[in-house]
Amino acid sequence: MKIPYKLLLSLLLCSAASSQAAELLIYNFDGRSLSPTITASNCDAGDIDLLTANTGFATNTSSLLGNPAPGILADASGTQLNARTAADALTSNDYLSFTVTPDTNYQMNLSSFTVDAQGLNGSLGVSGSTTEYSFGLYSSIDGWASTSDMIGSPQSISFTSTVDGNEQGGFSTLTFDISSLASQTTGTEFRLYVWVSTITGTTPNNNRRLSLDNLALDGSVTAIPEPATLSLIIAGITGLTVFVRRRL
C-alpha cells in the first residue's frame, strides 16, 4: 500500500497554526455603538472613528436607515461629504477609520473588507436627481499619501430618485479584496475614504444622503510557530521528502 505522503505533509503543515473565525470584526452600530460587535479570538479592534474625520457621518436610530437600523448617515453638502474626487477625499480627510491588532505571537491573514451602502433623498428630494458615491480603501501598511496607495480600485453606488420627497435606494454590498495584506503581526489601520463623484438634478445637496452599515473585515488569525516548532516542521518535511524519494 502506498503511503499517503501528501496527506501527511498537509497535516504536518497545518499543525503549525490554528485558524480562527472567518469574520474578524463587524461594525453594525447596534445601540448606536461605535465598537465592533463581533471580534475573532486572538485579535482586537478599537471603535470606528467618526469624530475626527470630516465626512460628517453620525449614527442614527431611524427605523428606515440601516441594514437593519441603526446605521451611519451623512449628506452630500460641502460641510459633510465634501470631496468630489478621490484626490479631494485624501486632501479633505473625508474618511472613516478603524484599527485591528492581533495578539502577541499571532498574525492576521486578511481576505476582504465589506460595507453595505445606500443612497437616499430627504424631504426636499426632486425626481430625476442622481447622486453617485464612491469609496476607496487604504491601510497603514501602504499609507494614504496619494491615490496610488489605494487598495485595488474605487467602488461606487448610484441613486436616482423617481419621486419628489423622501426616497431610498436599496442597500448594495461593496467588497474590497485585501488578500495582498497577508501575515500582519502588528496593528493595522484601515481608512475608507468617501467622495461624491456625480451630482445631477435639482435636489439640494444637503438632501442627498448616504447610509452605511455592517462594515466587516474577513480573514483568519493564526498562531506564529515558535522556533522549536518551526524546526520540527522543517525536519519533518525533510524526512518526508527523503522517504518519498526512496519510494520512487
Domains with residue ranges and CATH for the chain: 42-219 (2.60.120)
Banded pLDDT at 60 (limits 50, 70, 90): confident
**pLDDT > 70: percent of the chain:** 81
Kindly state the cell numbers that stand for 123: 424631504
The per-residue pLDDT for 132 is 98
Instruction: Find out whether 117 and 212 touch, Cβ atoms under 8 Å.
Output: yes
CA 108 vs. chain centroid, Å, equals 14
Burial category of 93 from C-beta neighbours within 10 Å (exposed 0-12, middle 13-18, buried 19 and up) = middle
What's the rounded mean pLDDT across residues 33-50?
91
The per-residue pLDDT for 58 is 86
6 pLDDT above the threshold of 80 = no
37 pLDDT above the threshold of 60 = yes
Task: Kindly report the pTM of this predicted structure.
Answer: 0.84
The per-residue pLDDT for 230 is 45
pLDDT in tens, 70-113: 999 999 988 889 899 999 999 999 999 999 999 999 999 999 99
In three-state secondary structure terms, 88 is helix
The per-residue pLDDT for 65 is 85
12 pLDDT above the threshold of 50 = no
Average pLDDT along the chain = 86
25 pLDDT above the threshold of 70 = yes
Kindly state the cell numbers that stand for 214: 455592517
- Supply the DSSP symbol for 204: -
The per-residue pLDDT for 234 is 57
**pLDDT > 90: percent of the chain:** 67
What's the rounded mean pLDDT across residues 138-154?
97
62 pLDDT above the threshold of 80 = no
* CA pair distance 45, 189, nearest whole angstrom: 10
8 pLDDT above the threshold of 50 = no
227 pLDDT above the threshold of 50 = yes
| Amino acid found at 49 | D
* CA pair distance 94, 27, nearest whole angstrom: 19
* CA pair distance 103, 223, nearest whole angstrom: 9
The per-residue pLDDT for 228 is 47
**H-helix or E-strand spanning residue 190:** strand 188-200
* CA pair distance 79, 33, nearest whole angstrom: 24
**H-helix or E-strand spanning residue 116:** strand 106-121
CA proximity to 108, closest of 216, 224, 16, 222: 222
Kindly state the cell numbers that stand for 59: 449614527
The per-residue pLDDT for 245 is 61
207 pLDDT above the threshold of 60 = yes
Kindly state the cell numbers that stand for 194: 468617501
The per-residue pLDDT for 143 is 97
7 pLDDT above the threshold of 50 = no
Q: Cell 522556533 identifies what position?
A: 227
CA distances from 18 to 7, 101, 113, 116, 229 (A): 18, 17, 22, 30, 13
